[in-house]
Structure 1
Amino acid sequence: MIDRRRSFRLFQIVLHGILNNYVLLGASVAFLSTSLGALPVVFRVRFSARLHDITMGICAGVMLGATLFSLILPAMDRFGGEGLHNASLAVAGLLLGGGFLHVANRFIPHQHFFRGAEGSNSEAIRRLWLFVFAVGIHNLPEGMALGVGTGTGDEGISLPLMTGIGFQNIPEGMIVALALVAEGFAARTAILVTMATGLVESLGVILGATAVAFSAALLPWGLSASGGAMLYIISSEMIPETQKNGFEHQATAGLMVGFCLMMILDNAFQA
């Protein structure tokens, strides 16, 4: 009977942690913003390479700012603030998150958005499912990072992080949809797949919030590991995407604008 009561109490704690308003809003933002990116496929809109690079640069800057201000710095605060020991713990969590994605990218067959398939036996995976799987690998850590952040219930962490990831998801969803159409898939298929990748990110939100709901001690580790995962995604996926069309300077300017925008928004939410 005692074990049942403890289990039920634990279930209540976890349920309360993952069903707070910020977690639910974060899961909705993850899905809707990604799905919104598929609209150009519906209206057959085309974007220039210059605009693509600038937009991705801005998104990379926004995500870099969200990673720093909403994940890494809050992680250090929850480890105890300043000091070599606390900074070392934050660095360890950051390296764990980035290292996990590095291992996943190395050993799991995957596909970058435009750079083709990588990994062992990737040719055996059908094009559509490979693409879905690839985007899922990319989106799940983003969703978990958002879930960890919103799981804190802290408005100053949750709102900037939702803003940053939501802003970044729109062009990312557009890239997924347009790439699938370019590969010969029907517009309806491209839209449904884009929506599915948004659901994967929403699932990540719930998983991240569930993890930190089990124990408050996991929260700083979750924040720092999520920060490391996001840094890895920014460096390995987003920044290279801004450099492929020959508009590096414009993309770099966009990155700086995005970072500054996130800095302003973070301070506005903290006010």
Structure 2
Amino acid sequence: MSAIPMDVQHVILAGLIASTCASLGTAVGSVGVFFIQTLSRRLEDGLLSLAAGIMLAATFFSLLLPAIEYGTEQYASEMAGALIAGAGVISGALLLFFIHQAVPHEHFVTGREGAEGKKLARIWLFVIAITLHNFPEGLAVGVGFAGGEITNGLSLAVGIGIQNIPEGLAVSVALMSVGYSRIQSAAIGVASGLVEPVGGLIGAIAVSSTASVMPWALAFSAGAMLFIISDEIIPETHQNGNQNVATFSLIIGFVAMMFLDIVLG
């Protein structure tokens, strides 16, 4: 693993800047609502699945594999590295699960989830759902700079930034389709991406604090991302008869991110 030395301040700054740049993808996609009035359900499912494929590849190549390598290096055992990665993944997924159970939010297809009896305006339920989705992505970018791995962090930022574009567009168009104005839809979409730099800052601080945290933080972020892919995106894109489009869009996104990770690495 060829890391470029970076001090603590530089790791934190890099994580913050990279996650901020990744969030711009959401903004770019969201303002697309001024040029595109509607998205067919088929195209929307395809775009969201493409984003899921990018996230899935980023999870494996930029988070899980480095987590296993760091764990193996720290404990001089491949089994220890694998066990740490597995425990981190489960921890990240469980935290997202409990947050989803406790916080009321709404998906475009599957409807409301989380705690009942919370009388929030529907617009805020959408905002909460989008925020729950974007925070782990920013966290992943921040922890991607673990050990001063600039190329790993950059590939994550680029990949997540790209997948944020169709995601931001789909979210804004969906909001407009249920009665919100173009300005409202674009503004909510842009605002939803602002949580990513917060996640990036937290992730970068975590991995820069001590080397022993690195494999756990990387695997934790991977688990959170996997939960989002399986719990949110795949169910949303497989309920409208577009399973084949969704499946192959996910595969294309996975291959594109795999290629990007190799080229930038």
Match of 1:179 among 162, 174, 192: 174
Q: CA deviation at 1:85?
A: 2.0
Q: CA deviation at 1:28?
A: 2.7
2:254 pairs with 1:262: no
Q: Using the alignment, how far apart are the partners of 1:152 and 1:241 within structure 2?
A: 36
For structure 2, which runs of at least 5 residues remain unmatched after alignment?
A: 1-6
Alignment match, 1:38: 30
Q: CA deviation at 1:151?
A: 4.8
Structure 1 residue identity aligned to 2:63: L
Alignment match, 1:219: 214
Alignment match, 2:21: 29
Q: CA deviation at 1:180?
A: 1.8
Q: CA deviation at 1:37?
A: 0.9
Match of 1:143 among 138, 141, 164: 138
Q: How many residue pairs get matched?
A: 256
Query: What's the TM-score once normalised by structure 1's chain length?
Result: 0.87
Alignment match, 2:124: 129
Q: CA deviation at 1:46?
A: 2.4
Structure 1 residue identity aligned to 2:243: E
Structure 1 residue identity aligned to 2:38: R
CA contact (8 A) 2:54 2:159 kept: yes
Q: CA deviation at 1:123?
A: 4.6
Structure 2 residue identity aligned to 1:254: S
Q: CA deviation at 1:102?
A: 0.8
Partner of 1:111: helix, strand, or coil?
Answer: strand
Alignment match, 2:56: 64
Partner of 1:185: helix, strand, or coil?
Answer: coil
Structure 1 residue identity aligned to 2:214: L
Alignment match, 2:4: none
Looking at CA atoms only, which structure, 1 or 2, has the larger radius of gyration? 1
Residues 209, 113 of structure 1: alpha-carbon distance in 2 compared, 3 angstrom cutoff? farther
Structure 2 residue identity aligned to 1:145: A
Q: Using the alignment, how far apart are the partners of 1:59 and 1:244 within structure 2?
A: 17
Query: What's the TM-score once normalised by structure 2's chain length?
Result: 0.89
Residues 110, 122 of structure 1: alpha-carbon distance in 2 compared, 3 angstrom cutoff? farther
Partner of 1:184: helix, strand, or coil?
Answer: coil
Taking only the aligned residue pairs, the percentage that are identical comes to 43
Match of 1:158 among 153, 158, 161: 153
Q: Using the alignment, how far apart are the partners of 1:266 and 1:16 within structure 2?
A: 22
